[in-house]
Homo-oligomer: A and B are copies of this chain.
C-alpha cells in the first residue's frame, strides 16, 4: 500500500487509529470460523466523519474496505477474503449516545458491545431483547450487519425488528441517514431493512437508533424431558398454537445434552432424545407463571416425561448455564467443530433432525443438534479433528448435505449468522438465479466499484 494512503489514514484516524505491524494485523485476520485473511492495514475510526473520509479515500484508490466489529462472526463475513485491503474496525466507536426513556429508544455507535448496551438501558427499566450467544463480545453494528438472533427472538423478534434507523457510510463516502424515532414509517423504500443483514457489502453502519421495550420483571424457566424428539417438536407447535409465546423455546438433542453433562456434571438427563428449555417472561408475575404452567401442561399432553420448573433464580440461571455451555462443551469432545445455522418451517424439525442423524451416521462424524426450535432455527455442529485428513475431508460434503436437507424441507441456509464467505457456494442454490441477479443489481447500484467487502455473499 502506498505511503500516501497510510499517511492519509493516519491523518484521518490518528496514529493510534492505524495498525500495520504483522502482530496487529494477525489479530484482525480471524473471526469465529476457520477462515483467515490478513488485511494490509487496520483503521479504527472514532466518528462517522472519519469513517466517511476513510471510505472516500479508499474509493478513490479502489481499495477494498472490510467493516469489522469484534470479529465474532460465524460466516467469515468480516475478514478480507483475499489478503489485502483496509479493515475498518469499529471497536473505538463504542459510545451510547442517547437513551430516550420517553420514546423507548437508544442511539449508539456501531462498536458498542451488545451486552453493554443491554446493561445500560436496563438501568432505565428498558430492555433490548436480541441476545446472540456472542452478546458479551459482539457489537451492535455487527449484529445489525448480520441481523443477529438469539434464544429470546422467538417472542421478541430478531435484531432487525429493533432497528429504527441507521447512519451508514456509502461506498463513495457519502453519509446516509435512514429512519427515525417514529415506530411506523412508510416514507419511501425500507432502506433501514435493506442495510440490515447486508453484511458490510452495501455500506458501513456507523450508528444505530434502536427501539426498546419495557424490561420484563418476571421470568419462569422450565426444563422439559422428552423420550421422543418427535414429541418435543410436536410440543413446540402445540404451545405456539395455544397462543402462548414463550420468550424462548430451545431444543437440545441427546448428543448435545451428553456433551454438556460430560463437561459440566449438571445432572441433566442423558437418556432422553431431547430436552426443551422453555422460558416465559413479562411484566405480570401471575401471567408469567400461568404461561409456564400452561406450556408445561401442553408438554405433558404431548408426551413429556418430566417438566421441571426452576424454583429459584439459581436454578433458572443453571438451566441457561447449561444451554450456553454447549459450545465450550463441544470443544472438549472434539478438537474442532463446524456449527451451521439452518432454518426450516418449524413443522419440519422432526424430519430435519432425523435426516441430520442419517448424515452423521453416513459419514461417521458426530452431528450435535441444538437451537431455537420455536423459530425452526437449528445449529447442527459437526465434530471432528482437522488434523485427521480423513475427517476434515468429510466436513465439506457433510455441510453440503446439511444445506441440501434444509432447502429440500423448505428451509434456508442461515437464520442468524449470514452468508459471508462460507455459504457463498450455496447462495444461488438457496435463492435461485433471479434473486441473486436482483441482489447483484442492488449491490452494483450502491457499490459500483465493488470496494465494500468484496467477495462476500456473491460468487465472484
Contact = CB atoms under 8 A, between A and B. Distances in A.
Given A182-B343, A186-B416, A189-B202, 4 more contacts: A100-B347, A177-B435, A187-B413, A190-B193
Given A102-B237, A125-B241, A243-B214, A194 B186 contact: no
Contact of A287 (B147, B161, B290, B413): B290
Interface in A172-188: 174-178, 180-188
Interface stretch (A79-87, A323-331, A425-433): A425-433
Contact of A104 (B215, B241, B244): B241
Given A283-B242, A286-B290, A186 B434 contact: no
A170 interface: yes
A338 interface: no
A182 B430 CA distance: 13
A438 interface: yes
Given A170-B434, A182-B410, A423-B187, A194 B197 contact: no
Interface stretch (A31-39, A301-309, A440-448): A440-448
A284 interface: yes
Given A214-B243, A375-B183, A375-B184, A176 B412 contact: no
A149 interface: yes
For A282, A290, A445, the residue with the greatest tally of chain B CB atoms inside 10 Å of its CB is A445
Interface residues of A, number: 93
Task: Kindly report how many copies of this chain are found in the complex they form together.
Answer: 2
A365 interface: no
A101 interface: yes
A345 interface: yes
A377 B436 CA distance: 36
Interface in A241-291: 241-245, 282-284, 286-287, 290-291
Interface in A393-440: 410-419, 423, 427, 430-432, 434-436, 438-439
A344 interface: yes
Contacts of A185: 343, 412, 414-415
A110 interface: no
A376 interface: yes
Contacts of A186: 146-147, 197, 414-419
A210 interface: no
A176 B435 contact: yes
B176 A158 contact: no
A457 interface: yes
A106 B9 CA distance: 53
